[in-house]
Amino acid sequence: MNKLYLTCMLVMLAILANAQNRLLNGRVLDQSDNTPIVGANIGVQGANTATTTDSKGNFSISLASAKPETLIVKFIGFSDQTILVGANEQNITIKISSQTNALDEVVVVGFGTIRRRDLTGAVASVKAAEIIKAPTHNAIEAIQGRAAGVDITRSSGNAGAGVNIQIRGTRSISNNPGPLYVIDGVQNGGSINNLNTNDIESIDVLQDASSTAIYGSQGANGVIIITTKKGTAGKSKISYNGYYGINGETAFPAPRVGEDYLTLRRESFRNDAGVITQTDAQIFNGAGELAAIQAGAFVNWVDLATRNGRQQSHSVAVSGGSENTKALFSLGYFNEEGALKGNDFNRYNFRYNIDHRVNSWIKAGITGQLAFSKTNSRRDPLSVALTAIPLGIPYNADGSVNIFPMASFATGNTNLSPLTDERPGAAIDENLANEISANAYAELNPIKGLTYRMSFGTVLNNGRRGIFNDQNSTAQNNVRYASASVRNDNGRYYNWDNVITYTRDFNKHSFTATALTSYIHSDADFSQATGIRQVLASQGFNNLFGTEASSRTTTSGFTRYDLLAYAARINYSYNGKYLFQATQRWDGASRLAPGRKWDSFASASAGWVISSEDFFKDVKPISNLKLRLSYGEAGNSGSVSPYGSQSLISAVQMGFGDVAAPAYGFSGTVANPDLGWETSTTGNIGLDLGLFDNRISATLDLYSTKTTDIILARSLPISTGQTTITQNIGATLNTGVNASLTSINFQKKDFSWSTTVTFSHNKEKITDLIDGRDIIASNNPEENSLFIGSPVRVFYTYRKLGIWQLNENPAAYSQAGQAFRFGDIKLDDIDGNNIIDQNDRVVVGQTQPQWYGGLLNNFRYKAFDLSIFLMARYGQFVKAEFVGRYNPGGVANGPANFDYWTINNPSNDFPRPRQGGSIASVYPNQYQSLLYIDGSFFKVKNIQLGYTIPKKVTDKLKLGSLRAYATGSNIFTYSKNKLLRDYDPERGGAESSPLSRQFVFGFNLDL
């Protein structure tokens, strides 16, 4: 009887519980035109219940009880909406509004976040949707041209190469440490090269002193804050993002081949009477040359040395959780093959983000990453391939590389093939790297408005680089014996932050106070061993005991530095119209001299939201207008090596007669007890503008940065017995303007079009040096000299006016006692004395562009989307190394597109062919005027076309969403200077590792 009663009670309770559940049906619409929103996420606040809308915007969701519930509606590109559903409601229509402006978006700033409408500093932001459009492994390269004030170029075309980045120009003269990277709150929280771009939620770039002041000396050159994706409450989500394609079609000057090569070489023997004075047998007198020419054995070595490699990326992420615990796990793989055989990069990474709310006032979490990469590099062969005689037999009958391609035409000709390093095991440069990063935090909210957050971040890394070159490798061409080396590196980095934040709102007043301490510790060690004449080449660098005993060397080293800081910041807002922020930071750096290690830096900023004033209410077209002002200081000690303020000793070998004796001597750097902080003072005026309900939004910033006590390692006279001393010796000034504009040009149900434009101009100059005079470098003065009134990085040489023509009088001018002749390089006689000497050298150009910018257009038509991104850099000069490969004697080869002067071809590009060897030999005092040229360019950087599979199809396939796309990168480049038309000048003029194009196909899949 009791069992029957209990059974009946359980059945009744189950029926009652089921009766309390209810099904809510609804529809989500676009508020602007009532079109259905497909794929919107609807979740129940406080419960692990969620669903998405179908192709008609409809949804159904089970509510746990008959009481009122709160729904949260989210959709990309629209503002999140919170809806209270009544206890008896069964049907509901929800309208959400498009985020046509970014005023309500949250911007990550130092040790906190802020709404963009309340921001008083200069901060540029790029979201995940834009970051993943570029097929690259490096997240910073992905934002190239998308953030005003941030000048980014790829460092080289090597597989896995990084980027060069400057924020608002060059402030320091030497060893510029670049911007600070903050990854999930950890300063210098790992290598940016190890981050999977699919894991990134946003990138915020802090540019002015007000924004960076909270980071003190760490942020002296700008701050880049990277926030990775986190788990969200609701149904677990699995996503895959991947692409596969080619990396190649490399732009590089083609060499002269066939008759083109022969003509130049013959032309070098033509006299002033127009007669070639030698026969072919006399001209082509190298071992086997004439026989190879008669056999037609011409070779395009550049074409054979390059290839089209592959590029692929695959990423899987799993996220989800409850209101109390949220987690995200991701696994990524990236592979890139460079344009050179034997050059490739492989990276594997695993990321985890876990957040847990312990109770109502405590939460904790951990984020981290495990990354492994393997890079195979090789000595770049393009300079050899471009200049090698285009003759020979490149491959043996079995397809292997012919080490001595001219040996078939001349016995004993041992000139190495430009392809020699492609032989298996001939040239190895293998770099293995591991990185483990983790950041754990605990956050307490003991009372309303008060938050204490403690975080401890660590980065542990180790790497091994092994190098082996056999006796017939390019690297060993001059010595012809094998060499091997191994280097092991280990690094340990810790960042411990304690942050207290108090927020209070009352009436129309709102303020937030922040106080913090920050401690950074870094140490690293290395060991290296080398040897030559490896007995078994097959062992490569793996058995250095097999090298010649007397050649073996070992070295090792250790470095450490610490940084301790305290900071305070206050943010105040009155009625959302009047904004103010003040920051004070105290920094102590171990690398500076005793008594100079500590300094303090302050900043202040203010904002006025003019559009919120009563007198502005009737100005309907302007929906947002805010004026921003900021001023502050930032210190920099990163230009100093960890022991740069000290005199160090090193072991040296001495002898007394025939007896060896160990000794110690100064390592070359003299201690400087007065070495202190480099200080930058920045003023910024900004304007934020929104028009027509913020369908058009624009930002304009004008800035001026004065940097004093610049740190520079100065050369010392040989008589001192030392080489350098690090001092505070100069000052620079950077002024400029950054502007960005975003417009929603068209937005309807089936078609939308938006445009974003960025523009940046920076003018920099050195305003002071140690004794008020220019510094002409003794080593490579063309590139290392410093001039008051000029930018930091300039080219200093003779200015080329053209080529001396037959209707001119070159003999009236001379250089080094030699009169100029027809066909010589015509140089600018600055002092007008008809003598070209060192007094005629001038600053011919700078590496910093006069301006750079980007233009992004996004289109959507039904299920298709199209993104087109263009960029430009104007006014910068580059050192075009391959220009120096023009060989007047014609023996060594060079680019085919170079137009040289002859009696019948009065070109103004390159001088007359003459006997004597390289251009440096034939024109020793003139040739450098050819190297430094205008590197301005315009580029179609990225085009991406995508198609989202209709939801009715993905529903049948049990998929959440599926999008396919094709992307092209570096598609087309137009260079202002015609000498760069077969080259991508973003590379900076370097001959090695030119940039390639990428064409990939990919998928975005959500389950």
Q: In Å, how far are 19, 237, 324, 970 from 45, measured between CA atoms?
A: 21, 18, 12, 46
The answer to whether the CB of 1001 falls within 8 A of the CB of 966 is yes
Q: Is 981 exposed, middle or buried (CB count within 10 Å of its CB: 0-12, 13-18, 19+)?
A: middle
In tens, the pLDDT along 345-401 reads: 999 999 999 999 999 899 999 999 999 999 999 999 999 999 999 999 999 999 999
Give the position of tokens 């000034």. 733
User: What is the average pLDDT across 549-570?
Assistant: 94
Amino acid identity at 871: M
Checking if the pLDDT of 116 tops 90, the result is no
CA–CA gap between residue 765 and residue 774 (Å, rounded): 12
The answer to whether the CB of 225 falls within 8 A of the CB of 109 is yes
Checking if the pLDDT of 1 tops 70, the result is no
User: What is the average pLDDT across 263-283?
Assistant: 91
CA–CA gap between residue 667 and residue 651 (Å, rounded): 9
Closest CA to 885 of 908, 916, 918: 918
Tokens representing residue 167 in the block? 């924020």
Tokens representing residue 467 in the block? 């190098």
Tokens representing residue 268 in the block? 């070098």
Rounded (5°) CA angle 621-102-184: 165
In tens, the pLDDT along 564-584 reads: 999 999 999 999 899 999 999
pLDDT of residue 806: 93
User: What is the average pLDDT across 591-610?
Assistant: 91
CA–CA gap between residue 226 and residue 870 (Å, rounded): 24
- Average pLDDT value for the chain: 89
Is residue 105 helix, strand or coil? coil
Listed in sequence order, the residues at least 6 apart from 687 whose beta carbon sits closer than 8 Å to its beta carbon are 625, 626, 627, 628, 699, 700, 701
Q: How confident is the model at residue 644 (pLDDT cuts 50, 70, 90)?
A: confident
Residue 27 is given by DSSP the state E
Q: How confident is the model at residue 648 (pLDDT cuts 50, 70, 90)?
A: confident
The answer to whether the CB of 58 falls within 8 A of the CB of 26 is yes
CA neighbours closer than 13 Å in the CB half-sphere of residue 422: 22
Amino acid identity at 829: D
User: What is the average pLDDT across 682-695?
Assistant: 93
Please, which residues bridge with residue 356 across strands? 325, 364
Give the position of tokens 């969701």. 61
In tens, the pLDDT along 718-734 reads: 777 777 888 888 899 99
In tens, the pLDDT along 749-775 reads: 889 999 999 999 999 999 999 888 999
- Residue 657 neighbours by CB distance under 10 Å: 6
In tens, the pLDDT along 828-885 reads: 999 999 999 999 999 999 999 999 999 999 999 999 999 999 999 999 999 999 998 9
Amino acid identity at 552: R
Is residue 129 helix, strand or coil? helix
Checking if the pLDDT of 9 tops 60, the result is no
Q: Domains plus CATH for the chain?
A: 17-96 (2.60.40.1120), 106-236 (2.170.130.10), 424-433+457-590 (no CATH)
CA–CA gap between residue 914 and residue 839 (Å, rounded): 27
DSSP letters along 182-221, please? EETTEET-S-GGGS-GGGEEEEEEE-SHHHHGGGGGGGTT
235 versus 448: which is more confidently predicted?
Answer: 448
pLDDT of residue 15: 38
CA–CA gap between residue 286 and residue 543 (Å, rounded): 40
In SS3 terms, 551-590 reads as HCEEEEEEEEEEEEEEEEEEEEEECCCEEEEEEEEEEEEC
Radius of gyration of the chain (CA): 33
Q: What is the pTM of this model?
A: 0.87
In tens, the pLDDT along 910-937 reads: 999 998 878 888 888 788 899 999 999 9
412 versus 445: which is more confidently predicted?
Answer: 445
Tokens representing residue 15 in the block? 């029926």
CA–CA gap between residue 313 and residue 242 (Å, rounded): 5
Q: How confident is the model at residue 133 (pLDDT cuts 50, 70, 90)?
A: confident
Residue 174 is given by DSSP the state S
Helix (H) / strand (E) containing 430: strand 427-444
Listed in sequence order, the residues at least 6 apart from 194 whose beta carbon sits closer than 8 Å to its beta carbon are 347, 349, 369, 371, 373, 435
pLDDT of residue 364: 96
Closest CA to 885 of 874, 876, 896: 896
Checking if the pLDDT of 101 tops 50, the result is no
Amino acid identity at 820: F
User: What is the average pLDDT across 315-344?
Assistant: 94
pLDDT of residue 731: 94
Please, which residues bridge with residue 59 across strands? 26
Please, which residues bridge with residue 370 across strands? 350, 436
Give the position of tokens 């034997």. 342
Tokens representing residue 559 in the block? 């470095």
CA–CA gap between residue 800 and residue 877 (Å, rounded): 14
In tens, the pLDDT along 135-178 reads: 888 999 999 988 999 999 999 999 999 999 999 988 888 766 78
User: What is the average pLDDT across 791-814?
Assistant: 95
CA–CA gap between residue 568 and residue 583 (Å, rounded): 6
Of 197-201, 653-657, 855-859, give the lowest mean pLDDT range: 653-657
In tens, the pLDDT along 503-529 reads: 998 889 999 999 999 999 999 999 999
The fraction of the chain above a pLDDT of 90, given in percent, is 64
Checking if the pLDDT of 976 tops 90, the result is yes
Q: How confident is the model at residue 11 (pLDDT cuts 50, 70, 90)?
A: very low
The answer to whether the CB of 891 falls within 8 A of the CB of 921 is no
CA neighbours closer than 13 Å in the CB half-sphere of residue 578: 3
Highest-pLDDT range among 208-212, 519-523, 816-820, 886-890: 519-523
Helix (H) / strand (E) containing 816: none
CA–CA gap between residue 585 and residue 604 (Å, rounded): 12
